[in-house]
Amino acid sequence: MNEIYVAGVGMTPFGKQANRSIKDLAAAALNAALDDAGARREQIEAVFYGNCVQGHMEGQDMVRGEIALREAGIERIPVVNVENACATGSTALHMAVSYVKSGACDIALAIGAEKMFSSDKALMFAAFDGAWDVHTVEKNRDLVENEYMAGQVSLVRLNEAQRDLIQQQGRLALARVALRQAWHDLRVATGEILEELGS
Protein backbone atom coordinates (compact mmCIF):
# COMPACT_ATOMS: atom_id res chain seq x y z
CA MET A 1 0.00 0.00 0.00
CA ASN A 2 1.60 3.26 -1.12
CA GLU A 3 -0.77 6.05 -0.15
CA ILE A 4 -2.22 6.44 3.32
CA TYR A 5 -4.93 9.00 4.06
CA VAL A 6 -6.16 10.66 7.23
CA ALA A 7 -9.87 10.27 6.59
CA GLY A 8 -11.19 12.16 9.62
CA VAL A 9 -10.08 14.14 12.64
CA GLY A 10 -11.72 15.18 15.88
CA MET A 11 -10.73 16.79 19.14
CA THR A 12 -12.18 18.18 22.32
CA PRO A 13 -11.51 21.74 23.49
CA PHE A 14 -8.48 22.18 25.71
CA GLY A 15 -9.41 22.94 29.29
CA LYS A 16 -9.74 21.54 32.79
CA GLN A 17 -12.79 19.46 31.88
CA ALA A 18 -13.45 19.00 35.59
CA ASN A 19 -16.77 17.21 35.11
CA ARG A 20 -15.68 14.88 32.30
CA SER A 21 -13.91 11.55 32.61
CA ILE A 22 -11.09 10.27 30.44
CA LYS A 23 -13.68 7.95 28.86
CA ASP A 24 -15.94 10.91 28.02
CA LEU A 25 -13.06 12.82 26.42
CA ALA A 26 -11.89 9.81 24.38
CA ALA A 27 -15.45 9.06 23.20
CA ALA A 28 -16.02 12.69 22.15
CA ALA A 29 -12.82 12.73 20.08
CA LEU A 30 -13.65 9.32 18.59
CA ASN A 31 -17.18 10.35 17.61
CA ALA A 32 -15.95 13.61 16.05
CA ALA A 33 -13.32 11.75 13.99
CA LEU A 34 -15.84 9.13 12.85
CA ASP A 35 -18.34 11.84 11.87
CA ASP A 36 -15.63 13.74 9.98
CA ALA A 37 -14.60 10.58 8.12
CA GLY A 38 -18.15 9.39 7.47
CA ALA A 39 -17.09 6.08 9.01
CA ARG A 40 -18.47 3.61 11.55
CA ARG A 41 -16.61 2.28 14.59
CA GLU A 42 -17.08 -1.26 13.25
CA GLN A 43 -14.75 -0.39 10.36
CA ILE A 44 -11.80 0.29 12.70
CA GLU A 45 -9.42 -2.66 12.71
CA ALA A 46 -6.72 -1.44 15.12
CA VAL A 47 -6.24 1.38 17.63
CA PHE A 48 -3.14 3.24 18.76
CA TYR A 49 -4.11 5.03 21.98
CA GLY A 50 -1.89 7.76 23.38
CA ASN A 51 -1.86 8.61 27.08
CA CYS A 52 0.88 9.46 29.57
CA VAL A 53 -0.52 10.20 33.02
CA GLN A 54 -3.66 8.16 33.69
CA GLY A 55 -1.61 5.56 35.51
CA HIS A 56 -0.39 8.27 37.85
CA MET A 57 -3.68 10.16 38.14
CA GLU A 58 -6.10 7.23 38.47
CA GLY A 59 -4.00 4.10 38.85
CA GLN A 60 -5.15 2.90 35.39
CA ASP A 61 -2.13 1.14 33.95
CA MET A 62 -1.38 -1.40 31.22
CA VAL A 63 -4.78 -1.33 29.47
CA ARG A 64 -5.51 2.40 29.35
CA GLY A 65 -6.80 2.46 25.78
CA GLU A 66 -8.89 -0.68 26.15
CA ILE A 67 -10.61 0.76 29.23
CA ALA A 68 -10.98 4.31 27.90
CA LEU A 69 -12.57 3.16 24.63
CA ARG A 70 -14.63 0.13 25.67
CA GLU A 71 -17.75 2.13 26.58
CA ALA A 72 -17.46 3.93 23.24
CA GLY A 73 -17.84 0.59 21.46
CA ILE A 74 -14.20 -0.13 20.66
CA GLU A 75 -13.34 -3.71 21.64
CA ARG A 76 -12.27 -7.06 20.19
CA ILE A 77 -9.60 -5.42 18.04
CA PRO A 78 -5.92 -4.77 18.75
CA VAL A 79 -5.33 -1.72 20.99
CA VAL A 80 -1.73 -0.58 21.33
CA ASN A 81 -1.10 1.78 24.24
CA VAL A 82 1.41 4.49 23.36
CA GLU A 83 3.37 6.60 25.85
CA ASN A 84 6.13 8.85 24.56
CA ALA A 85 5.98 12.07 26.59
CA CYS A 86 5.20 15.11 24.43
CA ALA A 87 5.51 13.03 21.26
CA THR A 88 2.79 10.56 22.26
CA GLY A 89 0.20 11.82 19.75
CA SER A 90 2.58 11.94 16.80
CA THR A 91 3.96 8.52 17.76
CA ALA A 92 0.44 7.03 17.85
CA LEU A 93 -0.26 8.50 14.41
CA HIS A 94 3.05 7.22 13.03
CA MET A 95 2.32 3.74 14.39
CA ALA A 96 -1.20 3.73 12.89
CA VAL A 97 0.16 4.79 9.50
CA SER A 98 2.88 2.15 9.66
CA TYR A 99 0.32 -0.53 10.58
CA VAL A 100 -1.88 0.32 7.60
CA LYS A 101 1.14 0.67 5.30
CA SER A 102 2.34 -2.80 6.31
CA GLY A 103 -0.95 -4.28 5.13
CA ALA A 104 -1.96 -5.43 8.63
CA CYS A 105 -5.24 -3.54 8.29
CA ASP A 106 -7.08 -1.04 6.10
CA ILE A 107 -8.38 1.33 8.79
CA ALA A 108 -6.49 2.19 11.97
CA LEU A 109 -7.40 4.75 14.61
CA ALA A 110 -4.80 6.99 16.25
CA ILE A 111 -6.41 8.58 19.29
CA GLY A 112 -5.34 9.97 22.61
CA ALA A 113 -6.85 11.45 25.73
CA GLU A 114 -5.23 13.07 28.71
CA LYS A 115 -6.83 14.34 31.90
CA MET A 116 -4.37 15.90 34.29
CA PHE A 117 -6.66 18.28 36.16
CA SER A 118 -7.40 17.35 39.76
CA SER A 119 -8.50 19.20 42.86
CA ASP A 120 -5.49 17.47 44.44
CA LYS A 121 -2.79 19.85 43.20
CA ALA A 122 0.05 17.78 44.67
CA LEU A 123 -1.14 14.74 42.70
CA MET A 124 -1.56 16.82 39.55
CA PHE A 125 1.92 18.38 39.59
CA ALA A 126 3.58 15.14 40.72
CA ALA A 127 2.61 13.67 37.34
CA PHE A 128 5.90 15.07 36.02
CA ASP A 129 8.10 13.65 38.77
CA GLY A 130 8.76 10.52 36.72
CA ALA A 131 9.42 12.42 33.51
CA TRP A 132 13.16 12.51 34.05
CA ASP A 133 15.75 10.02 35.27
CA VAL A 134 14.50 9.22 38.77
CA HIS A 135 17.91 7.76 39.66
CA THR A 136 19.71 11.08 39.16
CA VAL A 137 17.26 13.61 40.59
CA GLU A 138 19.88 16.05 41.95
CA LYS A 139 21.85 15.98 38.69
CA ASN A 140 18.60 16.61 36.78
CA ARG A 141 17.77 19.60 38.97
CA ASP A 142 21.26 21.05 38.49
CA LEU A 143 20.94 20.61 34.72
CA VAL A 144 17.54 22.31 34.69
CA GLU A 145 18.80 25.20 36.82
CA ASN A 146 21.79 25.66 34.49
CA GLU A 147 19.47 25.72 31.47
CA TYR A 148 17.31 28.35 33.17
CA MET A 149 20.43 30.42 33.79
CA ALA A 150 21.30 30.11 30.10
CA GLY A 151 18.02 31.79 29.21
CA GLN A 152 15.92 28.76 28.29
CA VAL A 153 12.17 29.36 28.39
CA SER A 154 10.62 27.68 31.40
CA LEU A 155 7.39 27.70 33.34
CA VAL A 156 9.31 29.12 36.28
CA ARG A 157 10.53 32.04 34.16
CA LEU A 158 7.08 32.61 32.70
CA ASN A 159 5.59 32.73 36.17
CA GLU A 160 8.28 35.20 37.30
CA ALA A 161 7.63 37.30 34.19
CA GLN A 162 3.90 37.28 34.89
CA ARG A 163 4.50 38.45 38.47
CA ASP A 164 6.79 41.24 37.22
CA LEU A 165 4.17 42.27 34.66
CA ILE A 166 1.47 42.44 37.29
CA GLN A 167 3.67 44.55 39.57
CA GLN A 168 4.77 46.89 36.79
CA GLN A 169 1.59 47.41 34.84
CA GLY A 170 -1.14 46.36 37.21
CA ARG A 171 -4.41 44.63 36.55
CA LEU A 172 -4.94 46.08 33.07
CA ALA A 173 -1.92 44.20 31.72
CA LEU A 174 -3.10 40.99 33.38
CA ALA A 175 -6.53 41.48 31.82
CA ARG A 176 -4.88 41.85 28.38
CA VAL A 177 -2.97 38.58 28.89
CA ALA A 178 -6.12 36.80 30.05
CA LEU A 179 -8.12 38.16 27.10
CA ARG A 180 -5.44 37.06 24.64
CA GLN A 181 -5.41 33.57 26.18
CA ALA A 182 -9.21 33.37 26.13
CA TRP A 183 -9.22 34.40 22.44
CA HIS A 184 -6.65 31.69 21.65
CA ASP A 185 -8.67 29.09 23.59
CA LEU A 186 -11.82 30.08 21.70
CA ARG A 187 -10.03 29.74 18.36
CA VAL A 188 -8.78 26.26 19.31
CA ALA A 189 -12.24 25.26 20.47
CA THR A 190 -13.85 26.37 17.23
CA GLY A 191 -11.17 24.82 15.05
CA GLU A 192 -9.92 28.02 13.45
CA ILE A 193 -6.31 27.12 14.09
CA LEU A 194 -6.80 23.74 12.44
CA GLU A 195 -8.35 25.45 9.40
CA GLU A 196 -5.38 27.84 9.18
CA LEU A 197 -3.06 24.82 9.16
CA GLY A 198 -4.99 23.38 6.23
CA SER A 199 -6.55 20.51 8.15
Residue where a domain terminates, one of 121, 140, 158: 121
pTM for this model (two decimals):
0.72
Between CA 42 and CA 141 the distance in angstroms is: 48
For 72, the domain range is 22-121
Contact criterion met (CB below 8 Å) for 113 and 33: no
Radius of gyration of the chain, Cα coordinates, nearest whole angstrom = 20
One domain, residues 146 and 109:
no
Q: Which has the higher per-residue pLDDT, 122 or 192?
A: 122
> Nearest-5° angle of CA 98, CA 83, CA 27?
85
pLDDT value at 78 more than 80: yes
One domain, residues 76 and 110:
yes
Between CA 141 and CA 158 the distance in angstroms is: 18
Reported as a pLDDT band with limits 50, 70 and 90, residue 176 is low
Between CA 74 and CA 42 the distance in angstroms is: 8
pLDDT value at 192 more than 60: no
One domain, residues 108 and 161:
no
One domain, residues 33 and 106:
yes
